[in-house]
A and B are shown apart, each in its own frame.
Chain A
Amino acid sequence: MSMMNKIMDKDSKYILELYIDGETFISKRAIKSIEKICKNELNNNVKLTIIDIKKNPEFLMKENIIAVPALVRLNPLPKRQIIGDLQDYQRILRGLDIG
Chain B
Amino acid sequence: MKNMEKLSTGIKGFDDLLHGGLPKSKTTYIMGAAGTGKTMLATQFLYESALLKVPGILVSFDESKEDIIGNFQSIYMNLNEMIENKLLSLTHIFFDENTIAESNNFTLEGLKLRLEILIDDIGATCVVLDSFQTLFDRFSQSINYRAELSNLIHWLKEKKVTTVLTGGLEDNNGLGVESYLVDCVVVLDQRVKGQLSTRRVRVVKYRGSSHEINEYPYSITSKGILLSPLSSLDLSHKVLRSRVSTGIPSLDTLFGGEGFYEGSSILVSGEAGAGKSSLSAHFIRNICSNNQKAIIFLFEESEDQIKRNMLSIGIDLQVFVDKGLLKIFALRPTQKGLEEHLLNMIEKIDSFKPNAVVIDPITSFWSNDVDFAIKALVTQIIDHCKMKHITGMYMHLMHGMDNITEKSTLISSLIDTWLVLRNREKDYRRYRELYIVKSRGMPHSLSVHKFKMTNDGIIVESNVNDE
Task: Using CB atoms and an 8 Å cutoff, list the residues of chain A in contact with chain B.
Answer: 19, 21, 26, 29, 53-54, 57, 60-61, 64-70, 78-88, 91-92, 95
Contact A54 to B113, CB < 8 A, known contacts A84-B105, A91-B102:
yes
Residues of A within 8 A of B109 (CB): 21, 53, 67-68
B102 partner, pick from A53, A57, A78, A95, beta carbons under 8 A: A95
Residues of B within 8 A of A65 (CB): 110, 114
Cβ contact within 8 Å between A67 and B102: no
In the complex formed, the residue of A with least CB distance to B135 is A66
In the complex formed, the residue of A with least CB distance to B108 is A67
Cβ contact within 8 Å between A88 and B110: no
Contact A83 to B113, CB < 8 A, known contacts A26-B107, A66-B108:
no
How far apart sit A95 and B102, CA to CA, in the bound complex (Å)? 8
Cβ contact within 8 Å between A88 and B100: no
Which stretch from B19-27, B91-99, B272-280, B296-304 is at the chain A interface?
Answer: B91-99
Cβ contact within 8 Å between B108 and A88: no
Cβ contact within 8 Å between B106 and A84: yes
A83 partner, pick from B93, B106, B114, beta carbons under 8 A: B106
Residues of B within 8 A of A80 (CB): 98-100
In the complex formed, the residue of A with least CB distance to B103 is A84
A67 partner, pick from B98, B117, B139, beta carbons under 8 A: B139
Residues of A within 8 A of B181 (CB): none
Known: A66-B110, A84-B142, A85-B103. 9 other contacts (CB 8 A): A60-B114, A64-B94, A64-B99, A67-B110, A80-B98, A82-B101, A83-B102, A88-B103, A91-B103
B346: min CB distance to chain A, Å: 43
Residues of A within 8 A of B33 (CB): none
How far apart sit A62 and B25, CA to CA, in the bound complex (Å)? 30
Cβ contact within 8 Å between A84 and B101: yes
B100 partner, pick from A19, A61, A78, A95, beta carbons under 8 A: A95
B114: min CB distance to chain A, Å: 5
How far apart sit A64 and B114, CA to CA, in the bound complex (Å)? 10
Asked if B411 CB lies within 8 Å of chain A CBs, one says: no
A71: min CB distance to chain B, Å: 8
Asked if B221 CB lies within 8 Å of chain A CBs, one says: no
Asked if B104 CB lies within 8 Å of chain A CBs, one says: yes
A3: min CB distance to chain B, Å: 19
How far apart sit A64 and B111, CA to CA, in the bound complex (Å)? 9
